[in-house]
Amino acid sequence: MDAGRLFYTDSTNSMKKDHMVPVLKSFTQHAVNHMKVAFMPPVEDIGPEPLFVQFVFSVSDHHGGTVSGLVFNITVTPVDDQVPEAFTNLLRVEEGGGAFVTEEHLLVQDRDSREEVLRVEVQRMAHHGRLELQGRALQTGDRFTLQDLRGLRLSFVVTNGDSSRSGTLHFTIQHGDRIPPTLHHNTGLRLQDGSTETITTDQLQLTDPDTAVANLSFAITRLPLYGRLLLREVPLSAPLSFTQTDVDELNLSYQHDLVSPAEIDRFYFLPTDGTNRGYLEFGQLREEPAVFNIQVDRVDRTPPSLTTRQSPSVVVDLGGGRYGIFITSKHLQASDPDSPTEELEFSITRPPHFGYLENALTGAYIKGRFTQRDVDQRTVVFVLPADMEVTADSFQFLLTDPAGNTALPEILELSWSRVELSATCYRTCETAGTLQIQIQRNGKSADPAYVAIQVEEGSAKPGRDFTHSTAGLIQFDPGVSVKTWNIYLIDDGLEENHETFTVTLKNPKNAVLGQRMSASVEIIDPRGGRCDPDDLRVEDDEKRLPAPPRFPDPPRPEKEEEVEDPVTDIEAELLWENQPQPPRGDVPNRRPYLDYGVQDPQDQAASSYSQIYYPSRQLPGTGTGGTGHRVRHGGLKVHLSGERRTEEKVWTFHSLTPLRLEELKPGDVGWSQSPQSRLLQEVPVGDHPQMDHAEPRHHPELRQRKTEKSVSSSCPDGSTHYRRRCYIISSSVASWASAERTCSLLFNSSLTSVRSRRDMSWLWRFAGRKPFWIGLSGGPGHWMWADGKPVSFSRLKGAPLGRSESDTGSDCVLVENPRSWISTSCSPETQHRFICSAPAQTH
């Protein structure tokens, strides 16, 4: 049997059947890629049924490797391109009788059609007889099949009684339509709301072996509710029908109405071939209308919303010395009516300033995004910065759904608390009785926090030299920021060396430890029944700053220009009564304000007074030849500069003692007697105040020169007051941009400006005589301070005020020393310490 052949297209001039074309035995992949290999079906007609051809081949490479047993299948479909053929023989019938018409008398053949679809139609009746099909006389136009011939159901009967005579029957052979159409595809349609989609043969197809495609039609019995059918882009009109040809040519489509609900739509139709009644579906004959379903998907055009946004503050121990705050669904909860909640995404547009986000399950750094599922499963944790003493942070994010809809940017604030001791060193007299150790909590105080406290003995032994509170756990209730823990000193009456022990904070809960987590306590042995005040002095702890405060919003100035503070001259000798020492140690890291109001709790003594000690410092103008005075009253030392200058006399405070109100005379000018706060009027302690002359030591008189303006001002706890401004210096380095952002976000301030040589000298001492960033930035011709003020004082080398002579490519200024500022790179890699400043609160 001829099954066709493979051949090279270059071996023939036409693509027609030709048995002379050579058969292809092998070919290359290159020939296939360039369409040089073709298949020729059998030369003879294959008949009405498809022909399935299969050839087996192997693949070999140039190394000799071979893959065998590969199979390639080809299906040859029949083409109905031949007309039926009919052959007849003479039928002999006796007079007045009849005879069966069989295939011996009438033979019909058609190679392209099955026998069951062939029909024989009577076109003209016989003159002397009739055809009968199972006893029924056939008329012109009636039909019979080949099965009728084989079944002896067709006969010819002579009716006129004539003697032998020849007659002729004329037949027309046609295809019959006895099979109803088959609904081959009815899968339905899916589209988005408001859109238009074409209905293809993959979704709707009607087939019929004995009916032309153009005659297969769909009669609509009910139109869709939420859209309309379009035929050639025009709404379907009466008669409500379309053909399979319309579907094949992609002329039929469905358009959803945007204002209609996004629900399942459908239309009903009745398939027909124009002849038979009903249609076949899944092998069953049906007469009821079929349903074409249309799934309309709602397009998500609504952005998600944030239903919950709470600031998390519960601190947990992550291990390895790390602490973190879990961000859960109690803090972030998003919703979207069009999307699954767990798939909503938080895209981070600005990461945290100090800490970072981490996946608690994988330990991976969360840089770009996390989902609501991550939040619900408690896998998002904010890791607190270990090297920065901050108690708040934030990050900005965008809430996005899977469809890409985005809500407005949101910021999540994070806050926590930090606990530490009030000092790193305490000194107390053995006869003081009780030493109060203060534990401070900075930052978030709305939640309870706990920290363990314990004593590590040294030369001082518990039970012999001291006892302490039995509580080993310090509990901070909501809103409480200071707690005390008592050390009870045992006076043994023996003369011995000074003894020490250590107090340590450990295992914080819902808080982190500050830098002052440990403090040494020195018990001073009294000599002659009392302790020497010099032995009780504690040096300033310059290793770190107290917790950074947040500056208040700067007050609005009454005038546009900054008023230069008048220099207040004071001539005074501070008196101190000879009273026993206060029963507590000193608190280092205290930076005095210019205005002395209500004392902090840590500075309150058991009696009606307290002391703050600061180390002595020799002035630049005081040399060995000076005749500085030293006044000593009950342990207080006041040094007066003995060298007089005509234009500037300086008095240096080495320790300050608040005077009792009854020690001030009502007539003294310039002293505030406000009951809320006993404030000294604008005494610039950090920048040594001037005085006209020194008073004799033996008749002290306390007075203050009148000034044109009497205004008091103050700063938040932890900052330093100088000339109506509040200053704070960083404990770590940062780039210029990070420094300015830190000043703005944490302290509500800006990088400091420098208005005069006097300010520069003070800032240099305040910075510990080390380089630091200032708020000057810009470039040639447009230098500007960070607070927006123009440049009135500059130490930029070779740069006039407000202008640089040469463009160095840098626009940030670093104070290298008091006489030299340098313009340096603003890149993130260039990092230095910095000073923030803001206007003080005036009263």
Per-residue pLDDT tens digits for 660-675: 333 334 344 333 333 3
Q: Which of 339-348, 367-376, 403-412, 527-536 shows the lowest mean pLDDT across its residues?
A: 527-536
**CA nearest neighbour of 156 among 108, 89, 208:** 89
Nearest-angstrom CA–CA distance, 120 and 171: 6
Q: Which of 109-118, 520-529, 623-632 shows the lowest mean pLDDT across its residues?
A: 623-632
Q: What is the pLDDT of residue 745?
A: 79
| Residues 260, 163 share a domain | no
pLDDT over 90 (residue 631):
no
508 in a structural domain: yes
Q: How confident is the model at residue 25 (pLDDT cuts 50, 70, 90)?
A: confident
Euclidean distance between the first and final Cα of the chain, in Å?
A: 115
Residue range 675-689: mean pLDDT, rounded:
36
Residue range 328-355: mean pLDDT, rounded:
93
Q: Which of 21-25, 110-114, 409-413 shows the lowest mean pLDDT across its residues?
A: 110-114
Q: What is the pLDDT of residue 156?
A: 85
Q: Chain centroid to CA 545: how far?
A: 34
Residue range 610-618: mean pLDDT, rounded:
35
Counted domains in the chain: 7
Q: Between the CA atoms of 672, 677, 680 and 686, what dihedral angle is there, to the nearest 10 degrees?
A: -160
Q: Which of 356-370, 467-481, 611-625 shows the lowest mean pLDDT across its residues?
A: 611-625
pLDDT tens-place string over residues 800-815: 344 444 444 557 999 9
Q: What is the DSSP string of 428-479?
A: EETTS-EEEEEEEEEE--SS-EEEEEEEEESSS-BTTTEEE-S--EEEE-TT
Q: How confident is the model at residue 658 (pLDDT cuts 50, 70, 90)?
A: very low
pLDDT tens-place string over residues 640-654: 333 343 444 444 433
Cα→Cα distances 818→168, 617, 727, 770, 800, Å: 135, 20, 17, 10, 17
Residue pointed to by tokens 């006209």: 692
- Amino acid at position 356, single letter: Y
pLDDT over 80 (residue 325):
yes
pLDDT tens-place string over residues 185-232: 999 999 999 999 999 999 999 999 888 899 999 999 999 999 999 999
pTM exceeds 0.95 for this model? no
pLDDT over 60 (residue 472):
yes
Residue pointed to by tokens 């009746």: 125
Q: What is the pLDDT of residue 665?
A: 40
Helix (H, G, I), strand (E, B) or coil at 402: coil
Q: How confident is the model at residue 498 (pLDDT cuts 50, 70, 90)?
A: confident
pLDDT over 80 (residue 426):
yes
- The 10 Å CB-count burial string (b at 16+, else e) for 447-480 is bebebebebeeeebeeeebbebeeeeebebeeee
| Residues 392, 471 share a domain | no
| Residues 466, 486 share a domain | yes
Residue range 356-376: mean pLDDT, rounded:
93
Question: What would you report as the CA-atom Rg of the chain, rounded to the nearest whole angstrom?
Answer: 52
The CATH number given to whatever domain includes residue 474 is 2.60.40.2030
| Residues 524, 464 share a domain | yes
The domain boundary residue, chosen from 484, 516, 536: 536
Q: What is the pLDDT of residue 173?
A: 62
pLDDT over 70 (residue 609):
no
| Residues 690, 572 share a domain | yes
Q: How confident is the model at residue 533 (pLDDT cuts 50, 70, 90)?
A: confident
Q: What is the pLDDT of residue 204?
A: 95
CB 670 within 8 A of CB 681: yes
Containing domain of residue 93, as a range? 85-175
Residue range 470-485: mean pLDDT, rounded:
92
| Residues 732, 820 share a domain | yes
555 in a structural domain: no
Q: What is the pLDDT of residue 386?
A: 83
714 in a structural domain: no
550 in a structural domain: no
Considering only residues 701 and 824, tell me which one the structure prediction assigns the higher pLDDT.
Answer: 824
Number of CB atoms found within 10 A of residue 808's CB? 14
| Residues 493, 368 share a domain | no
The CATH number given to whatever domain includes residue 834 is 3.10.100.10
Residue pointed to by tokens 């369409």: 35
266 in a structural domain: yes
Helix (H, G, I), strand (E, B) or coil at 271: strand
545 in a structural domain: no
The domain boundary residue, chosen from 50, 76, 102: 76
Query: Would the CA dihedral through 36, 42, 45, 46 be positive or negative?
Result: negative
pLDDT over 60 (residue 692):
no
- Amino acid at position 743, single letter: C
| Residues 264, 375 share a domain | no
Most confident of 453-457, 531-535, 737-741: 453-457
Q: How confident is the model at residue 241 (pLDDT cuts 50, 70, 90)?
A: very high
CB 683 within 8 A of CB 565: no
CB 735 within 8 A of CB 828: yes
pLDDT over 90 (residue 345):
yes
Residue range 415-432: mean pLDDT, rounded:
92
Q: Which helix (H) or strand (E) holds 358?
A: strand 356-359
Residue range 699-714: mean pLDDT, rounded:
47
The domain boundary residue, chosen from 110, 144, 175: 175
CB 206 within 8 A of CB 244: yes
| Residues 380, 291 share a domain | no
Name the DSSP class of 298.
Answer: P
Considering only residues 592 and 222, tell me which one the structure prediction assigns the higher pLDDT.
Answer: 222
Q: What are phi and psi of 10, to 5 degrees?
A: -75, -10
Q: What is the pLDDT of residue 259?
A: 87
| Residues 328, 309 share a domain | yes
Nearest-angstrom CA–CA distance, 256 and 522: 87
Q: Residue 504 burial by CB count (10 A; 0-12/13-18/19+): exposed, middle or buried?
A: middle
| Residues 498, 427 share a domain | yes
pLDDT over 50 (residue 406):
yes
Residue range 4-26: mean pLDDT, rounded:
82
pLDDT tens-place string over residues 58-79: 999 888 889 888 888 888 888 7
Measure the CA angle with vertex 164, ends 161 and 170; round to 5°: 90
| Residues 703, 581 share a domain | yes
542 in a structural domain: no
Q: What is the pLDDT of residue 307?
A: 93
- Sequence-distant (6+) residues with CB within 8 A of 127 are 160, 167
pLDDT tens-place string over residues 771-796: 999 999 887 777 888 888 888 888 88
- The 10 Å CB-count burial string (b at 16+, else e) for 624-662 is eeeeeeeeeeebbbbbbbeeeeeeebbbbbebbbebeee
Q: What is the pLDDT of residue 198?
A: 96
pLDDT over 70 (residue 688):
no
The CATH number given to whatever domain includes residue 394 is 2.60.40
552 in a structural domain: no
- Sequence-distant (6+) residues with CB within 8 A of 782 are 802
Q: What is the pLDDT of residue 798?
A: 54
| Residue 359, beta-bridge partner list | 380
Q: What is the pLDDT of residue 732?
A: 83
Considering only residues 686 and 463, tell me which one the structure prediction assigns the higher pLDDT.
Answer: 463
Q: What is the pLDDT of residue 705?
A: 39
Residue range 33-47: mean pLDDT, rounded:
84
pLDDT over 50 (residue 300):
yes
Q: Which of 51-55, 125-129, 618-622 shows the lowest mean pLDDT across its residues?
A: 618-622
